[in-house]
Structure 1
Amino acid sequence: MGHTPKRAIPLWSLHPQGEYHDHLTPDLAPQSPISAERSGFFDPTHSKRFSWETPPIPRERFLWHSLLQSLFLGIPPPLPRAAIAATMGAKATPEGGPMMYHKMLVPLDGSELAEFALPYAEELAGKLGTEIILAEAVNSPKEALDTALQVYLRGVADATSGNVMKHVPEPGAPEIRVRTEILVGDPAEAILNYVEERGIDLIVMATHGRTGIRRWALGSVATKIATAADCPVVLIRAKGAREDVREKGAIRRILVPLDGTAASEKILPHAQELVTHFKAEVTFFQAIQPLYNAVATTDGIVYVPYTPEEMKSFVTSAENYLTRVSAPFRELGVPVQQKVTLGDPAEAIIRFADEIGADLVAMATHGRTGVYRWMIGSVADKVLHAGNTPLFMVRTKAEAPA
């Protein structure tokens, strides 16, 4: 009598983009609002997050159970290129190299202004091979069940998916995942908590959205997120935003301000990642604050500005510094420029970014922890609020002031 083998169903699988997911039974799997509405199982009081996807499985658990399945059930563990890279602590870009950004969060508020971030997110995701998560925060679980909200997010996700694949460098590359999340709670705190819980690597958002009672004002939320997020934040200024981003490309010229400190150089790996995939021109910039001599006179202390000759040594030192830090970028074969100027750093950055038509200002900021989490470095704060160019910010942790 012949033996009919039972069909083995994997308990764990690896998504093509490198995420591990449970194959849970329908009555146990976390459900989206729409699927739950159909089944009548969804209970919003038990969750503050509504996702279109099942939660990720820890890598160690995935590898262990993949091994057991392979040994006892004869199911070969799925190990595509992205999985091999994941087991070594990094994922693979469409071009096959290691990548810094695995998951990108794009906060929305239902307004057209908030959607100004989407063309940038699409091109970043396509060139970097990054998953996109479109998220909207609401005040209550009841709002999360709003059919109009669900339809809106699904429509944006479908459109974004099509646009992302236009930027994938290799034909036939794995599809970039685009999914949605509905968060409940204070927008800034809900987004920051989600970023920490889900290991988000990059946030891309517009600096102004709809105001009023029903939706949140994205301007203030963007400021809080930029000053408190542990991952890099790309801020797209809705006012004066380019309308030709999808036709001509989002990032062609990057301005990287530095001040000679190790903290400011935290931006360099991110800038290198961007210029590598976007083939963008990069300009390294340093502004030297004017210096003064204290001169004692009969009327008291008088502060006399340094002469141009006295400032020359500082300018030369800054130029040598920029030449040194830009050397790895020159080796990549991308166009590299550098500029040293005298003046207030924030004002000089804003003015020079406008002069060269920069598409992105990439800089590090001195962040805070604890009760000081909404503070930000003074130069970055001025550039954030007074600048006209999209801003890529990396927060460097600092101790709370005494």
Structure 2
Amino acid sequence: MLSIDDLLVARDFSSVSDRAVRYALDMAARTGATLHVLYAEVLHEADSDGETDRSPAHDLDAFRKELKEVGAVSAEALDAVSVKEETRRDVSAAPAIMSYAAEADVDLIALGTHGRRGPSRILLGSVAEEVVRRAEQPVLTVRGEERDRPAPSLEAIERILAPLDFSDYSRDALRAAKEFATVYDATIDALHVVPEALHPAFYVGGVKTIYDMDPDIEETVQERLDTFVSETDGPAVEVRTNVRVGNAAPDIAEFVDENGVDLVTMSTHGHTGLDRFLLGSVAEKIVRHVRCPVITMKAFGRSVTAADTPAEDRADR
């Protein structure tokens, strides 16, 4: 089951961070978590919008009312969410977010990927990428629209995508996806992307693509993926398996758009080593480009599933 007792959402009062607050409030209501609302006040940054005059939880009651009207989660659960608000001052937003997360022992961090704008302002997008890279906790990133168009509010989570690379770390992400699917009454798509292009070292005898090495690669990987999914424990939810041959990041983003995915859950590190594919770089590209929220989980970080054996411990067995 999900183990989220304390959920931190960072806001800067932009429409995008307000959208992240809505998702965080909805998740807190579903999991029974305490919601920590943090405003990171950046030192030496001019406050042109009167942000520091508002409390971090400003308008939270309006968000509760809005979610009640949507009806995706009960009014009782929304009213039961305990809220703690905090303002932190630091040289930049990311250190403030991560230091509070460590002090408050939060289980998950939520934030928008495009908030503050303007050449003299801290871009929340870059802050989100820094938090995704450095935070020990899983991170929920919520994307907004480009430029100054209003960001859409909370959308129902009915379809979850779990990109997998057959590592123990991606197995953890699949377990988490199953738990989130239970909370949101959603289904899951498990996706593995087989790299089509080969390293030049393989260019012998006319071998340039994966199909030259194995013409039946998709069928082979499909069987492996089906086995991987069936052997991954967790609640019984509908999981569809999908295999594509191509390039991981753009193919994952394309899958999201083509299939109406509402949430992506993925590990930030899969295969490791200088000669291996780094899922971490793929995760950052997904956070940057897909339209739906993304939950990234560190390979060696905190788990959101209860009674879970850390992946690094399983790898040593």
Structure 1 counterpart of 2:135, one-letter code: A
Cα distance in 1, alignment partners of residues 89 and 141 from structure 2: 22
Secondary structure at the aligned position of 2:137 is classed as coil
1:111 CA drift (Å)? 1.8
Query: Counterparts of 1:58-73 in structure 2 under 5 Å?
Result: none
Structure 1 counterpart of 2:175, one-letter code: P
For 1:53, the equivalent position in structure 2 comes to none
Q: Which of the residues 80, 83, 104 maps onto 1:198?
A: 104
TM-score computed with the length of structure 1 as normaliser: 0.62
Query: Counterparts of 1:13-162 in structure 2 under 5 Å?
Result: 99-140=2-43, 149-162=52-65
Higher alpha-carbon deviation: 164-173 or 376-385: 164-173
1:109 CA drift (Å)? 1.1
Unaligned runs of 5+ in 1: 1-97, 297-301, 368-374
Aligned length: 285
For 2:307, the equivalent position in structure 1 comes to none
Cα–Cα, structure 1 residues 324 and 310, in superposed 2: closer, same or farther, change >3 Å?
closer
Cα–Cα, structure 1 residues 304 and 147, in superposed 2: closer, same or farther, change >3 Å?
closer
Structure 2 counterpart of 1:180, one-letter code: E
Structure with the bigger RCO (C-alpha within 8 Å, sep 6+) is 2
For 1:180, the equivalent position in structure 2 comes to 85
Cα distance in 2, alignment partners of residues 172 and 123 from structure 1: 9
The answer on 1:266 being equivalent to 2:172 is: yes
1:323 CA drift (Å)? 1.9
Cα distance in 1, alignment partners of residues 115 and 78 from structure 2: 34
For 2:127, the equivalent position in structure 1 comes to 221
- Given that 2:160 and 2:188 are in contact with CA atoms closer than 8 Å, whether structure 1 keeps it comes out as yes
Q: Which of the residues 211, 219, 235 maps onto 1:316?
A: 219
Cα–Cα, structure 1 residues 336 and 210, in superposed 2: closer, same or farther, change >3 Å?
same
Secondary structure at the aligned position of 1:155 is classed as coil
- Percent identity among equivalent residues? 28
For 2:204, the equivalent position in structure 1 comes to 295
1:226 CA drift (Å)? 0.9
Cα distance in 2, alignment partners of residues 136 and 102 from structure 1: 20
Cα–Cα, structure 1 residues 171 and 157, in superposed 2: closer, same or farther, change >3 Å?
closer
The answer on 1:281 being equivalent to 2:187 is: yes
Secondary structure at the aligned position of 2:196 is classed as coil
1:310 CA drift (Å)? 2.0
Secondary structure at the aligned position of 1:377 is classed as helix
Cα–Cα, structure 1 residues 223 and 309, in superposed 2: closer, same or farther, change >3 Å?
closer
Cα distance in 1, alignment partners of residues 230 and 77 from structure 2: 34
- Given that 2:191 and 2:243 are in contact with CA atoms closer than 8 Å, whether structure 1 keeps it comes out as yes
Unaligned runs of 5+ in 2: 271-277, 302-311, 313-317
TM-score computed with the length of structure 2 as normaliser: 0.77
CA RMSD of aligned residues (A): 3.4
The CA deviation string for residues 96-115 of structure 1, in whole angstroms up to 9 with x for no partner, is xx541111111111222321
1:124 CA drift (Å)? 1.0
Cα distance in 1, alignment partners of residues 77 and 190 from structure 2: 36
Q: Which of the residues 216, 238, 241 maps onto 1:338?
A: 241
Cα distance in 2, alignment partners of residues 237 and 142 from structure 1: 24
1:116 CA drift (Å)? 1.8
Structure 2 counterpart of 1:363, one-letter code: M
